[in-house]
Structure 1
Amino acid sequence: MPGHRTKRFCASAAALALCAVPAGCGESGESAGGGTVVLRYTWWGNPDRAERTERAVALFEERHPDIDVSTSFSGYDAYKQKLATQAAGGDAPDVMQLDYRQIDQYASGGVLLDLGRQKRVLRTHEIDPGLLATGRVDDVQYAIPQGRGTETVAYDVRTWKKSGVPLPGRSWTWSQWADTMRALAEKTGKPGATDPGQSEDSFEVWLRGRGKSLYTEEGGLGFTADDLTRWWTFTDTLRRAGAVSPAEQTTQLDGSVENTPLGRGTSVTDANWDAPASGFAALVEGGVALAPMPSGEDGTPGQYFKPSMFVGVSAHTGHPKEAAQLVDFLINDRQAAKILGASRGIPVNETVRDDIGPGLEGFDRTIADFQASLEGRLKDPPQAPPSGDNALQSTFQRDYDQVSYARMSPREAAENYITEARAELRS
């Protein structure tokens, strides 16, 4: 991977493997020889995000010669599992990238530092208060949003245009999306999309378009077995018709764009978040464009703007001030923002966003233009999911695997999921 690597960078961008910290990497908040502070910083993402992050970290180290940053990254699924193991063992990295669905779990589990205690170092006054509040649990600021993102349908421009199927417009319903995927499959000889049945995120968009939600304000399920049966029947029918990816491809999904059918060249589209969709640019020779997620049949939008990801600090770090300095740099430094671009979503610092906006190029510009096209059209985001949702994402995909391999009917799998979900949310 081109670009800067810190002295302890131990992840291969080609392998996308989150490394175990070797003896030379240092423990959380360790001080190296000569009074140098060593911070461990981990994130998930694609090689593009990693290359940019490494360059930004190099700039931070240049500005802070007394701090060394040991970095590692992986695809989302591997990252999530690794971080859970580290957190359970009291060995969470000093600075860590977090998903919306991890905030409650790690805050309530005592993993995250109260960042309100670092106000002298960590500035948050230029972040929209509503967006900033999404990183709070019980009125304590445990995480800071790093960017604003939304879901999208990323597609292979050349293949779609060659098919003769009309390109997507400013909006479409789920029925129109399904008809389009069937047409693409017929014209191109490969599935129109990654099967969305395995994705809790896509299901949430579908639910919201029907006036429902994934969770209630009290943290219970906001849908029934009938709702989930209808969703999985819809996607299973498309899979059986070859309009979306087969089980053999869908079960290879691991959170990285490289292992999606679109990334492998075996489908025309993929539903993903806009920032990680940048990874498709290096994989799809025909170029990649973004379309909105489908809406409800009455036009009600299901997608929403949300913090694309957060950054938090370990409650057990030996150097909370230095860790907060790194967080402040990632959020508020203009030069860092120019390096990072939209790789983690559009910047949350409003001054920084206005400053770098006109200079965005390539896929960063694609993301900015896509978000601008949705301004004023989306509903408010839901509150952060309850802590049990982190585990339920895997349960959701596992239960749908039973459907896609014809081991369970959509109804059987839905009832099984509802039972397990209620038990997880009570625990």
Structure 2
Amino acid sequence: MPEPPSGLRRPASRRAFLAAAAAGLSTALTSTLSACSTASGSASGGVTLRFSWWGNDDRAARTEQAVRLFEKEHPGVTVRTSNGEFGSYLQKLATQAAGGGVPDVVQLDYRQVSQYAGGEALLPLDDAIKDATIRTAEMDRDFLRTGTYKGGQYALPMGRGITGYAYDASVYKKAGIPTPQPSWTWEEWARTNRRIAALGLKSPDGRPFTGANDGGGNEDVFEDWLRGRGGALYKNQTELGFTEDDLAAFWSFFSKLRDEGAIAQARDSTQAISTETCPMGRGLAAADFTWDAPFPGYPALLGDDVHFAPVPTTDGRQGVYFKPSMLLGIGAHSEHPEESAQLIDFLLNDTRAGDILGFSRSTPPNRTIAARVAKTLKGPEREIYDYAQRLEKYGVDIPPTAPPRGDLAIQSGFGRAYERVMFGLATPRQGARELIDVANRELRS
């Protein structure tokens, strides 16, 4: 087995937690990763790379086209690709990591970086960046830290996303509500929802129409809320950055609005697993918290009156930050780390690849490519690009490093605890205490 270049050294062992991660995921996720395509075999003596990611058909087609261009530019290198649905992808990757078989190039969720870097399933990329095998000069330095673990760079962002609210401007106009600005507050957001509910509109099934979805069970909404108050989800890799009081206040805020009928009811919130099934998609609410990448699905479903609004602030301080929609890393046991690094660099920095991939993974992290591709954007895609530029100009804090290894389990526990609150099985404070107990166990394990 050939030795990797300096800085891409294989770890001596994998930690046992990877096997536990695979077992835990397999109990919750039962579907299997489906192959999207497989390249033809490489020539004798050539290099074959495995590259896997998740995504829809459009992303798959674009990625395949970019990969084939890479092969053309690198004779003797063949890339075998696989693409799956997000849930099954997580399961497959956890199983591969436990067995030492993480693909040469692998797409990662922000919440997976610490898990796999800490489990020695990924190669550090620092020297590949230092010698410019992977170029980062056109990427924001603060944004790059989202792929770091204990000071080392283990993954690089493939897209730059940001949160916001999809909202129906026609309903806002009917209620006399002005276009939301980056400085609007949570108190104004609450009054907006009450005013919309007071219109007395009805949903398609005849029930009262509300102002927005219930964001209380969404850890991303809570993080924006916390950061707008100067807080954070985590202090470090082993400590929470918030208190029971913080979470109880957040859940009390949403519970009060839900009890008033200003936001979606519990039974509708629990059904929200997609644009079509969320309260807004079902005609039950005028707004829905979402990320920029999936936002175009809202006007496609509901019409051109749907636009993208900023997340509310606390006294004008924005809590949102630019977060990687997904990242790329190299498997720790890759036999071809140099070629893997070349593929990552090509996908992130080649202008032709940028033209092909477009905004299929949100805004490209390479600023030159992002500005180039943005010139071709229209409609909702252009709106989310302009939104990101507007928020950046307004001022947002730098992103945190990748969350701790226990974050995936904590995120699941967050939703479960708030579901108990929504259905009256626990008070906001009791639910907050339960979640913090779960979180502390995960962070200490």
Q: Does TM, normalized by the shorter one, top 0.5?
A: yes
Q: CA deviation at 1:393?
A: 0.7
Asked if structure 2 preserves the Cα contact closer than 8 Å seen for 1:18 and 1:82, the reply is no
Call closer, same or farther: CA 1:409–1:373 in 2, change over 3 Å. same
The residue type equivalent to 1:277 in the other structure is: F
Call closer, same or farther: CA 1:403–1:38 in 2, change over 3 Å. farther
| Mapped pair 1:125 → 2:131 | no
**Other-structure match for 1:13:** none
Asked if structure 2 preserves the Cα contact closer than 8 Å seen for 1:215 and 1:223, the reply is yes
**Other-structure match for 1:402:** 420
Q: CA deviation at 1:415?
A: 0.5
**Other-structure match for 1:313:** 330
CA distance in 2, matches of 1:379, 1:316: 36
Asked if structure 2 preserves the Cα contact closer than 8 Å seen for 1:67 and 1:322, the reply is no
Any unmatched runs of 5+ in structure 1? 1-16
CA distance in 1, matches of 2:168, 2:62: 24
CA distance in 1, matches of 2:117, 2:107: 14
Q: CA deviation at 1:82?
A: 4.4
CA distance in 2, matches of 1:145, 1:304: 14
**Other-structure match for 2:357:** 340
Any unmatched runs of 5+ in structure 2? 1-29, 203-208
Call closer, same or farther: CA 1:143–1:266 in 2, change over 3 Å. same
Which runs of structure 2 are paired with 1:10-49 in the superposition (5 Å)?
19-21=32-34, 32=41, 34-35=43-44, 39-46=49-56, 48-49=58-59
Asked if structure 2 preserves the Cα contact closer than 8 Å seen for 1:204 and 1:302, the reply is yes
**Other-structure match for 2:289:** 271
Of 236, 242, 253, the match for 2:255: 236
Asked if structure 1 preserves the Cα contact closer than 8 Å seen for 2:210 and 2:262, the reply is yes
Q: CA deviation at 1:161?
A: 4.3
| Root mean square deviation, CA, Å | 3.0
Asked if structure 2 preserves the Cα contact closer than 8 Å seen for 1:210 and 1:300, the reply is yes
Call closer, same or farther: CA 1:205–1:348 in 2, change over 3 Å. same
Asked if structure 1 preserves the Cα contact closer than 8 Å seen for 2:41 and 2:78, the reply is no
Q: CA deviation at 1:321?
A: 3.4
Asked if structure 1 preserves the Cα contact closer than 8 Å seen for 2:55 and 2:83, the reply is no
Asked if structure 1 preserves the Cα contact closer than 8 Å seen for 2:146 and 2:399, the reply is no
Call closer, same or farther: CA 1:411–1:359 in 2, change over 3 Å. same
**Other-structure match for 1:9:** none
CA distance in 1, matches of 2:246, 2:420: 18
Q: Which moved more, 1:118-127 or 1:204-213?
A: 118-127
Of 229, 241, 244, the match for 1:225: 244
**Other-structure match for 1:70:** 81
| Mapped pair 1:152 → 2:164 | yes
CA distance in 1, matches of 2:117, 2:98: 13
Q: CA deviation at 1:203?
A: 0.4
CA distances 1:344-381 after superposition (whole Å, capped 9, x unpaired)? 23222233234333333333321221012112422232
Q: CA deviation at 1:173?
A: 0.8
| Mapped pair 1:215 → 2:238 | no
CA distance in 1, matches of 2:396, 2:236: 20
Identity rate, percent: 47
Which runs of structure 2 are paired with 1:4-403 in the superposition (5 Å)?
19-21=32-34, 32=41, 34-35=43-44, 39-46=49-56, 48-63=58-73, 66-75=77-86, 77=87, 79-118=89-128, 119=131, 121-161=133-173, 165-187=177-199, 188-189=201-202, 190-217=209-236, 219-254=238-273, 256-296=274-314, 298-374=315-391, 375-403=393-421
Q: CA deviation at 1:164?
A: 5.0
The residue type equivalent to 1:176 in the other structure is: E
CA distance in 2, matches of 1:199, 1:261: 14
Call closer, same or farther: CA 1:279–1:83 in 2, change over 3 Å. farther
Provide the secondary structure at the position in 1 that maps to 2:295. Answer: helix
The residue type equivalent to 2:33 in the other structure is: A
Call closer, same or farther: CA 1:365–1:25 in 2, change over 3 Å. closer
Provide the secondary structure at the position in 1 that maps to 2:375. Answer: helix
Q: Which moved more, 1:325-334 or 1:303-312?
A: 303-312
Provide the secondary structure at the position in 1 that maps to 2:296. Answer: helix
CA distance in 1, matches of 2:92, 2:299: 27
Q: CA deviation at 1:51?
A: 4.8
The residue type equivalent to 2:264 in the other structure is: S
CA distance in 1, matches of 2:246, 2:106: 35
Provide the secondary structure at the position in 1 that maps to 2:395. Answer: coil
Number of matched residues? 404
Provide the secondary structure at the position in 2 that maps to 1:261. Answer: coil
Call closer, same or farther: CA 1:145–1:238 in 2, change over 3 Å. same
Call closer, same or farther: CA 1:262–1:53 in 2, change over 3 Å. farther
Q: Rg: which structure is higher?
A: 2
CA distance in 1, matches of 2:144, 2:342: 18
CA distance in 1, matches of 2:277, 2:343: 31
